[in-house]
Amino acid sequence: MALRDLIFWIVAIVTVGCALSVVFNRNIFRAALFLIVTFFSIAILYVLLAADFLAAVQVLIYVGAIGVLIIFAVMLTRKMTGGPILMGTHGVLRGGAMAGLFLLLSVGAILRQDLSASVPGDVVSPAALGRGFLVVYMLPFEVLSILLVAAMIGSVVLARKDDA
């Protein structure tokens, strides 16, 4: 039990620290690498929450696909401009005020509830999740398929737009 607590706190600190680096780092490439570390630590959180399938999907999709895609875009941009891309921030005071206000609101709402008595449930098996997607959540599943096809066709159209 103590080991799980220790892992949770280490992962939480790593997650928040890397997320802050994603937001504050001026070098976009380093920000993308920190984003990948954040995705990894969130996958560890899913394992702690007994969602093994979602942890695997998180590593596959977020780390494997989205992270690589962002790094790919950064490197393509870098090739065209030459040299590292530095990106600044603007309106730090305004953005910080908004985010801090929202943080205060949500932390107050969470601490007001009595959520300390709960314990994690059993591991949800991928078989149950797949059965759910083919029986109960059939419609969202099909809508997702349509969304993915639309994204694929859309990216082809966007890439070829200038030829038409």
Partner 1 sequence: MIPLSSYLLLAAGLFCIGTFGLLTRRNAIGILMAVELMANAVNINLVSFSSFLVDLVGQAFALLVLTVAAAEARAACNRHTPAPTSCPRGTRHRHPAPDSNDCHSPAANRCTTRW
Q: How far is the CB of 83 from partner 1 (least distance, A)?
A: 14
Least Å distance, CB 107 to partner 1, is 6
CA distance 67 to 108: 33
CB of 4 to partner 1, least distance (A): 7
Please answer whether residues 35 and 18 qualify as being in contact, where contact means their C-beta atoms are separated by less than 8 angstroms: yes
Tokens of residue 149, six digits: 């096809």
Residue whose entry in the numeric block shows the structure tokens 């093994």? 52
Give the C-alpha separation, 47 to 97, whole Å: 34
